[in-house]
Amino acid sequence: MSTQLLNVYAAKLLPEQELFASGHRACQGCAPALVLRYAMKALGPDTIVCNATGCMEIISSSYPETAWGVPWMHVAFENAAAVASGVEASLKVLMRKGRIPQRRITVLAQGGDGATLDIGLQALSGALERGHNFIYMCYDNEAYMNTGIQRSGATPFGASTTTSPAGRKDFGKHQSRKDLTAIAVAHHVPYVAQAAISHWQDLSDKALKASQQQGPAFLNVLSGCPLGWGHETKDTIEMVRLAVETRYWPLYEVLDGHFRLNYDVRTPVPLEDWLSRQTRFRHLFQTENKEHLRELQALVDLEWEILAERVKAGAQFFKARPELVGGMA
Amino acid sequence: MGTRKGMEVSIGVAESAAMCDVDVIAAYPITPQTHIVEHLSEIVADGHLDAEFVPVESEHSAMSCCCGSSQAGARTFTATSSQGLELMHEILYVASGMRLPIVMAVANRALSAPINIWNDHGDIMACRDTGWIMVFAENGQEAFDLVPFAFRVAEDAKVQLPIMVNFDGFILSHVIEPIVVWDRSEVQKFLPPFKPAQRLDVDNPWTFGPVGIPDIYSETRMAHNEALKGSRAVIEQAWDELHAVVGRRYRAVEEYETADAEVVFFTMGGVTETCMTAVKALRAKGKKVGIVHLRLFRPFPEEDLRKALLGRKAVVCVDRALSTGFGGPIASEVKSALYGHAGAPPVVEFIAGLGGRDVKIQDFIDMYEEGAKVAAGGPVPPYKLVGVRE
């Protein structure tokens, strides 16, 4: 079982082969590039990638160069899940008709938070509902970083972005983030997991587990962005780790309706210790905004509590139907 | 020899796609195209066609899914209309830019607002520049024949471009017509199996759809344009072979009663057959009138068009769409093809049959009268909407 990997130091257990090669154009300290690197090591060469428009597409595919050691396709911003649906349907029928060899191939659709939970939510929902045998992975860096740090549905309450700027009379984003993982769970697919680049063994493990499902799997991976979050490039991993340690970003998975916490944060770091290290939250520490800091901490506490209850309940919240999914035609 | 059957034209288009042994169909319901995909899903459900039918959640996803499926190596078909075609619009450019041989039937319908489910060419005229090959059927048999034709041309190694097969919504899509269904042997003779030049293959990984920086973008556009223009030779060859196999002859520009015609109508799509009836009536009165009608819209057959139109006394161009604030889109392309050539006739522009308004035989006769005045040396009037109440 892949979960056993968690018990050992696994760096040497991951393949050396780089399917997402270095030499691409990502910024220093880019977390999504690391997410792809480790996810691809876990998924292996029998993978086809459908990339949404965004940072990872731009930095990896500038013709005539490519960072990709696997078949890769980019169509547009909002449709990676729909493109992956077509790839999966095609592989299935061509194998059935004997036009290509029978073989297990992982179809991975991936995109940033904007591409996934804003503009691409419909395509994602459709593909999950139809039950294609594929993985969707969102690298969530909490804003539209590629176009210059505009707010997205994933941007947290209080964060300052170029379209939710903190000003003399405003404190940044007024709304809390969209719970994308819960939205994926609501599709009752076989596997949904939340991961973070700081815990890359857990991430690789979840990618592998996702690829072993029959039917759709969904991964939501917190991925920092020094430019958008406002910290030094060397601190990316630490910033993401703090997001986990503050309980802001719980590492959990939902396998066939069962919630499981992969990392129990028993003594959480105060949220302020994380927020104060990023310029996007700097304004929250001004006297007039202190109340918003408390609101944000309360939100995080409540969300953790709800999740912990579900995990504790040990109940099956839904039944995925792998015998039905991936079985159109 | 084929088998002659009476069937609704939409059903015919679906049967034709099934006859081509398509692998993946991704489609979303929209009037008046729905019967095509309904029937295709029936054919799949009954086990007559081994294909994946992907019931996507929007037309945008339909075309996106088609891109993925085609790039992975499947013969891919979809159908749409009007608002659905517009929702796909963004991805139409990607499908052609990535050189994916998708075939799409378009039951032409007016665009909102006001919402209108009936026929005109507003939808397809908004897609003129998407880089697809576009053909127009005038009757059920043509709609049926143009599907295997489209797969053959689209998948040709020298072309590798998507094709739209257009036919008029309702006035063709929902009409029952006699259609000669091809024999299996005829299909096999005409349409080779799909062998993609490159596909998403884990043993031979390629990167598809990369970033094109300014240093390369113009070259890709030029290559696309050359491929679209160059497809003409493959199109002609396919029509020659279609003629050899099933005995029906198609041309990019068709002519009717033009040998001595001084005034010619210029039409595209289903109205051509009504126009023919009008021309018969006018001919019976001794009028020297004929029709030049367009089957191939992209690549635009300029040369053929000049051959058919230069030297006439007047061209009466009947557009089925209005380029708002300008005039008739086809008329503008016709005028552009004729401009600067000796013997270029004046073009009298009409916009007819918007949003399902009937275009009657008498309307064509009235249009002819206007054209005849210009042919006799009268001034060229500004474009008119036929039968509009002011």
**A204-261 pLDDT per residue, tens:** 999 999 999 999 999 999 999 999 999 999 999 999 999 999 999 999 999 999 999 9
* Closest chain A residue by Cα to residue B66: A86
**CA B281 to CA B298: how far, in whole Å?**
32
* Chain A residues inside the 8 Å CB shell of B162: none
* Closest chain B residue by Cα to residue A125: B57
Of B55, B62, B200, the CB nearest to A73: B200
* Chain B residues inside the 8 Å CB shell of A79: 60-61, 64, 91
Interface test with B, best of A83, A96, A107 (most B CBs within 10 A): A83
How large is the average pLDDT for residues B29-51? 97
Q: Which of A125, A135, A122, A120 is nearest to A53 (CA)?
A: A120
How large is the average pLDDT for residues B200-215? 97
Percent of chain A with pLDDT over 70: 94
Put simply, the answer to whether A73 touches B65 (Cβ < 8 Å) is no
**CA A108 to CA A328: how far, in whole Å?**
19
Put simply, the answer to whether A126 touches B54 (Cβ < 8 Å) is no
* Beta strand B103-108 pairing with A252-255: unpaired
State residue A11's pLDDT score. 60
* Chain B residues inside the 8 Å CB shell of A62: 210-211, 213
- Which pair of structure tokens corresponds to residue B225? 């344009």
* Chain A residues inside the 8 Å CB shell of B76: 86, 90
Q: Provide the 10 A C-beta neighbour count for residue B126.
A: 17
Q: Helix crossing, B329-338 with B302-309: angle to 10°?
A: 80
Of A62, A93, A100, the CB nearest to B210: A62
Put simply, the answer to whether B200 touches A87 (Cβ < 8 Å) is yes
* Closest chain B residue by Cα to residue A62: B211
Put simply, the answer to whether B61 touches A79 (Cβ < 8 Å) is yes
Q: Which of B225, B133, B96, B163 is nearest to A75 (CA)?
A: B96
Chain-centroid distance, C-alpha A122:
17
State residue B308's pLDDT score. 98
Identify whether the C-beta of residue A109 lies closer than 8 Å to the C-beta of residue A136.
yes
Task: Chain B: give the shortest CA distance to residue A244, in Å.
Answer: 34
Put simply, the answer to whether B55 touches A328 (Cβ < 8 Å) is yes
How large is the average pLDDT for residues A91-96? 98
State residue A7's pLDDT score. 53
Q: Write the CB contacts of B150 (distance below 8 Å, at least 6 apart in sequence).
A: B103, B133, B135, B163, B165
* Chain B residues inside the 8 Å CB shell of A96: 50
Percent of chain B with pLDDT over 90: 99
In degrees, rounded to 5, the angle at the alpha carbon of residue B60 between the alpha carbons of residues A116 and A80 is: 35
Q: Helix crossing, A200-211 with A31-43: angle to 10°?
A: 50
Q: Write the CB contacts of B347 (distance below 8 Å, at least 6 apart in sequence).
A: B266, B314, B315, B317, B331, B334, B335, B338, B380
Task: Chain B: give the shortest CA distance to residue A282, in Å.
Answer: 36
pLDDT greater than 50 at residue A1: no
* Beta strand A252-255 pairing with A191-196: antiparallel
Of B26, B51, B53, the CB nearest to A86: B26
* Closest chain A residue by Cα to residue B21: A97
Q: Which strands make up the sheet holding B289-294, listed edge to edge? A: B253-256, B289-294, B263-268, B314-319, B347-351, B384-385
State residue B1's pLDDT score. 79
State residue B93's pLDDT score. 98
pLDDT greater than 50 at residue B183: yes
Of B54, B60, B204, the CB nearest to A89: B54
SS3 B129: coil
State residue A325's pLDDT score. 52
* Chain B residues inside the 8 Å CB shell of A52: none
State residue A14's pLDDT score. 83
At position B144, the amino acid (one-letter code) is F
Q: Is B52 on the interface with A (CB under 8 A)?
A: yes
Burial class (CB in 10 A: 0-12, 13-18, 19+), B332: middle
Q: Is the dihedral of CA B117, B121, B127, B132 positive or negative?
A: positive
DSSP E strand stretches across A152-248 = 166-167, 170-171, 191-196, 217-222
Put simply, the answer to whether A46 touches B202 (Cβ < 8 Å) is yes
How confident is the prediction for chain A on average, in pLDDT? 94
State residue A324's pLDDT score. 56
Tell me which residue has tokens 């979809």: B78
Put simply, the answer to whether B72 touches A72 (Cβ < 8 Å) is no
pLDDT greater than 90 at residue A19: yes
pLDDT greater than 60 at residue A4: no
Put simply, the answer to whether A73 touches B64 (Cβ < 8 Å) is no
Of A62, A74, A328, the CB nearest to B53: A328
Put simply, the answer to whether A82 touches B206 (Cβ < 8 Å) is no
State residue A12's pLDDT score. 62
* Closest chain B residue by Cα to residue A69: B205
**Is it true that the peptide bond before B259 is cis, omega within 30 degrees of 0?**
no
* Closest chain A residue by Cα to residue B27: A86
**A159-208 pLDDT per residue, tens:** 999 999 999 999 999 999 999 999 999 999 999 999 999 999 999 999 99
Interface test with A, best of B48, B49, B61 (most A CBs within 10 A): B61
**CA A75 to CA A50: how far, in whole Å?**
8
* Chain B residues inside the 8 Å CB shell of A63: 210-213, 216
- Quote the radius of gyration of chain B (alpha carbons, Å): 21
Identify whether the C-beta of residue B146 lies closer than 8 Å to the C-beta of residue B135.
yes
**CA B310 to CA B346: how far, in whole Å?**
10
How large is the average pLDDT for residues B123-149? 98
* Chain B residues inside the 8 Å CB shell of A100: 73, 201
Interface test with B, best of A57, A66, A75 (most B CBs within 10 A): A75
pLDDT greater than 80 at residue A37: yes
**ipTM > 0.95?**
yes
- Cβ-Cβ pairs closer than 8 A, A with B, add up to 171
* Closest chain B residue by Cα to residue A72: B207
Residue of higher predicted confidence among A5 and B144:
B144
**CA B170 to CA B68: how far, in whole Å?**
31
**CA A160 to CA B184: how far, in whole Å?**
65
Task: Chain A: give the shortest CA distance to residue B27, in Å.
Answer: 11
**CA A281 to CA A272: how far, in whole Å?**
9
Identify whether the C-beta of residue A223 lies closer than 8 Å to the C-beta of residue A141.
yes
Task: Chain A: give the shortest CA distance to residue B122, in Å.
Answer: 25
State residue B19's pLDDT score. 98
For B314, the enclosing helix (H) or strand (E) is: strand B314-319
Put simply, the answer to whether B57 touches A123 (Cβ < 8 Å) is yes
* Closest chain B residue by Cα to residue A61: B210
How large is the average pLDDT for residues B199-210? 98
In degrees, rounded to 5, the angle at the alpha carbon of residue B122 between the alpha carbons of residues B116 and B123 is: 85
**CA A74 to CA B62: how far, in whole Å?**
16
Tell me which residue has tokens 């890769």: A72
Interface test with B, best of A62, A79, A102, A110 (most B CBs within 10 A): A79
How large is the average pLDDT for residues B179-190? 98
Q: Is B365 on the interface with A (CB under 8 A)?
A: no
**CA A293 to CA A158: how far, in whole Å?**
8
Residue A162 has phi, psi (to 5 degrees) of -75, -15
State residue A13's pLDDT score. 73
- Which pair of structure tokens corresponds to residue A75? 């169509």
At position B103, the amino acid (one-letter code) is V
pLDDT greater than 80 at residue A323: no
**CA B281 to CA B284: how far, in whole Å?**
5
Q: Provide the 10 A C-beta neighbour count for residue A294.
A: 12
State residue A322's pLDDT score. 62
**B334-363 pLDDT per residue, tens:** 999 999 999 999 999 999 999 999 999 999
State residue A328's pLDDT score. 40
Least confident of A2-6, A22-26, A197-201, B97-101: A2-6
* Closest chain A residue by Cα to residue B42: A329
Label residues A27-44 b or e (16+ Cβ within 10 Å = b).
bebbbbbbbbbbbbbbbb
Put simply, the answer to whether B209 touches A75 (Cβ < 8 Å) is yes
